[in-house]
Every structure is written in C-alpha cells, then in structure tokens.
Amino acid sequence: MEAYKNILSKRDSRSYSGQEISDEVLQRILQAGRMAGSSKNTQPWGFIVIRGDEQKASIAACGDFAQHVPNAPLVIGVVLTPGGSGFDAGRAAQNMMLAAWDEGITSCPVALHHRECAVEALGLPEDHAPAMLLAFGYPESEESRHRGVTRNAMDDIVHQERW
C-alpha cells in the first residue's frame, strides 16, 4: 500500500476476527517498530509479544479501557528502557500499527493506567517503564474499522503563523 494512502485509511479498531497473525507478518510489524526514529537514535524501547489468553487478560487488567485486549489475537507491549520517552514509544508504536495496516490488520493503542500492575504483569526490570499496549487483529467487519466518524475539517484545525 502507498504510505500516504495507508495513513489516510488507517483507523483504530477494537473488534477482531479470530484469524491468527502469522510469524512472518509479526516479524514485519516488529521490524517496523525497531526502525522507528528516536531522540539521538537511542532506540529506548523493547517489545513484548503477547499471544497467550491468560497473559492478555492479565495485562488488560492494567488499563481502564482495555476490555478488548483479550480478544485480540496479538498484543505487543511497548516498554521504555532507561532514558526513553513517551514520544519515542509513540513513534515506534505508530510504525508498527501502519505496518500492520499494510498487511490488512487493524490495531488499537491501549493506555496502561495502572503502572505497577503493568510492571508486574509484564515482568519488567526496575528501571524499565510500560509505555502502552498495541492490540492487533484482522478486522471483524468493515464497520468495525471506522465506526463512521468523520475527521475534523482542515479549516478547523490548521492555522497559519499563530492560532
């Protein structure tokens, strides 16, 4: 898919079919995250691949709006290593979500509101921080991809020189 078309057509989804995501596709998604830019090229992240039902339920309990996570065939925990920032994690996450969408896989980023819960569930070292989860799956239906909500008009969000 052309990058611009990929960006324009991608929407978050919380409804997934039961179709598994192959290891080959998973590797492309992870490679996209690995190749993200980062501040001073520090690459301050690690990725935890979660496929087991018990582990998905365990980590879902750490987010206030993560009820859909156990239904996703694939979940990736984005973890910040020492010195990393949410900005860097977001760049890696967006790369992974766009790479997945190029494969026809929908995704949804999930906040981990309860840090200690996430640290425990993910088994993180003391100096690492949970940044977010990414839930991935093939779309359940076309409707599950977009919910029909239109984007804000350019004239409403773009300003020149000053607000």
Query: What is the reported pLDDT for 143?
Result: 57
Domains and CATH numbers, the chain: 44-138 (3.40.109.10)
Q: pLDDT truncated to tens, each residue of the chain (163 aa)?
A: 598 988 888 888 899 998 999 999 999 999 999 999 999 999 999 999 999 999 999 999 999 999 999 999 999 999 999 999 999 999 999 999 999 999 999 999 999 999 999 999 999 999 999 999 999 999 987 654 555 678 899 999 999 999 9
What is the Rg, in whole angstroms, of the alpha carbon atoms belonging to the chain? 16
Longest dimension (CA), the chain: 51
Query: What is the reported pLDDT for 108?
Result: 95
Query: What is the reported pLDDT for 6?
Result: 87
Decide: helix, strand or coil at residue 146.
helix
Q: What is the pTM of this model?
A: 0.92
Q: Give the burial string for 83-115 (b: 16+ CB within 10 Å, else e).
A: ebeeebbebbbbbbbbbbbbbebbbbbbebeee
